[in-house]
Amino acid sequence: MITVYLDGQPLVMGEGLTVAAMLTLSESSIARLSCTGQPRAPFCGMGICQECRVTIDGRRQLACQTLCQEGMHVERTV
Amino acid sequence: MSLQARTAAADVVIVGAGIMGAMCAYELASRGLSILVIDNGTGGATGAGMGHLVVMDDNPAELALSRYSIALWNTLRKRLPEACAYRNCGTLWLAANDEECGLAEAKQARLVEYGAQSEWISASALRQLEPMLRPDLAGALKVFDDGILYAPATARWLLHQQDGRITVQEGDVTRVEGNRLCLSEGGWLTAPAILLANGLGAFRLLPDVPLRPKKGHLLITDRYPACINHQLVELGYAASAHADDGTSVAFNVQPRPTGQLLIGSSRQFDTLDKRVEFDVLGRMLMRAQDYLPGLGELNAIRGWTGFRVATPDGLPLLGQHPDQPGLWLALGHEGLGVTTASGSARLIAAQLLGEAPPFDPAPFRTERFVGVASHTPGAAA
């Protein structure tokens, strides 16, 4: 089991999950807010649609293309 | 007139609903004319470009047209809704060395002749204004009236103005003969005047008009807290923009109101391949990172290409076809069509209605490259 921090809150999960899967397991699968404030969540799951942009350890990345690592900090983009 | 001919479809039929067609429709409808705009929905340079409103001064005709056009945009900009995303951010023309400082000085002298306000920004002031730029630049020329807008939304907005005198219809024009045109669904439309403002699409209708596509790449980043404040262009840009051959890149970055950075630019000749070419995109991004060292930390979300439509002398064709009365052209604006849409539309309207032209129309006359006379040796001078 590993611990990942989502917006500062620890989440304990098995290894091998993507950050997008971790979002889905959390209370809300929202990854970010659009220009007009609409919630957006992972959609294509294969790195094309760009809907799941989150900040991972200080850098903007795609949640669906990133595997969770022990101690990783994930921030939703709002 | 063929048996299928109808009575006049409108006072003016415009082919192309991009920024040029839309602005011509807006301008002509403002004088009370009824306008039918026909567009095939495939999209062109309006949707692909940066939407940089910029005074360009590579020759006096371009400077007169772009300066006049910016002044018109400035009268229109307060009425543009937020969707058009107009911002008066100004342009910073970046000087990397002493030679480019000289270019900036010459540029400023040319601009002032045409009433375009600019100011020299010293190296230290530039570091304060744009801290994301690499610190060793020699300075920049700031051009105040330049700005940015989102051209597709602006074209849409223009087409909805003028109290319903503008009608937009989806359709594919397959032939043009003087003041009549044929639609692929069949049937000819006639009008007192037909105006082609369909960019590359004009190739198919007027194969003898020498328009050359110049492919460009753009890339846009994710949204971030504002990190640049002006449109940033290297002073060497003009050299790239006017190269006649080969592939070139130049630094040109625009801050979008959303916090995204729109990154250009590249130029390639004689290809109509829409695919993103990673070697060209890579060169363009290396150039951009040379000026903005922190760029590599940002996430890019889209890259795409588009085609500028260029005439042999780089100036648009604005006026009536010399051999086809009733057929008017607003074509070949290259990379400057969003800027010059306003001035070009004003000139077309003046010529069509027999008014005094707002600036010297001679450099833009269609006879340069269109019609029988232009193919006679020595005639197109």
Please report residues of B whose CB lies closer than 8 A to that of A59. Answer: 297, 299
**pLDDT tens, position by position, B232-245:** 999 987 766 666 66
* Cβ contacts from A onto B, under 8 A: 18
For residue B78, what is the DSSP state?
G
**pLDDT tens, position by position, B263-302:** 999 999 989 999 999 999 999 999 999 999 999 999 999 9
What is the spatial distance between Cα B259 and Cα B220, in angstroms, rounded to a whole number? 10
Please report residues of A whose CB lies closer than 8 A to that of B299. Answer: 53, 59-62
Summarize the confidence of residues B50-56 as an average pLDDT. Answer: 98
Of B222, B258, B297, the CB nearest to A53: B222
The correct CATH number of B12-47+151-210+314-375 out of 3.50.50.60, 3.30.310.80, 3.40.50.300, 3.90.1150.10 is 3.50.50.60
Q: Does A61 touch chain B (CB under 8 A)?
A: yes
Contact B297 A59 (CB under 8 A): yes
Orientation of helix B337-352 relative to helix B19-29, angle to 10°: 40
Q: Does A16 touch chain B (CB under 8 A)?
A: no
Contact A77 B223 (CB under 8 A): yes
**pLDDT tens, position by position, B305-330:** 999 999 999 999 999 999 999 999 99
Residue B282's contacts (CB-CB under 8 Å, 6 or more residues apart) are: none
Identify the pLDDT of residue B380.
46
Paired tokens of B276: 């993103």
φ, ψ of residue B155 in degrees (nearest 5): -60, -45
What is the spatial distance between Cα B379 and Cα B376, in angstroms, rounded to a whole number? 6
Paired tokens of B127: 């570091």
Summarize the confidence of residues B78-95 as an average pLDDT. Answer: 97
Contact B223 A59 (CB under 8 A): no
Identify the pLDDT of residue B381.
44
Domains, chain A: 2-76 (3.10.20.440)
- Rg of chain B (C-alpha set): 21
Establish whether domains B12-47+151-210+314-375 and B91-144+212-310 are of one fold: no
- B63-67, B146-150, B245-249, B365-369: range with lowest mean pLDDT: B245-249
Summarize the confidence of residues B320-342 as an average pLDDT. Answer: 97
- We find that the CATH architecture of domain B91-144+212-310 is 2-Layer Sandwich (3.30)
Contact A53 B297 (CB under 8 A): no
Alpha helix positions (H), B276-336: 278-291
Alpha helix positions (H), B35-183: 45-48, 60-76, 98-113, 123-129, 151-159
Of B258, B299, B302, the CB nearest to A60: B299
Summarize the confidence of residues B166-179 as an average pLDDT. Answer: 97
Contact B298 A60 (CB under 8 A): yes
Please report residues of A whose CB lies closer than 8 A to that of B298. Answer: 60
Percent of chain B with pLDDT over 90: 90
Identify residue B211 by its one-letter amino acid code. L
Question: How do the domains of chain B map onto residue ranges?
Answer: 12-47+151-210+314-375, 91-144+212-310
For residue B327, what is the DSSP state?
E
What is the spatial distance between Cα B111 and Cα B64, in angstroms, rounded to a whole number? 10
Identify the pLDDT of residue B186.
81
**Is the preceding omega at residue B265 within 30 degrees of 0, hence cis?**
yes
Question: Is this complex's ipTM strictly greater than 0.85?
Answer: yes
Contact A60 B258 (CB under 8 A): no
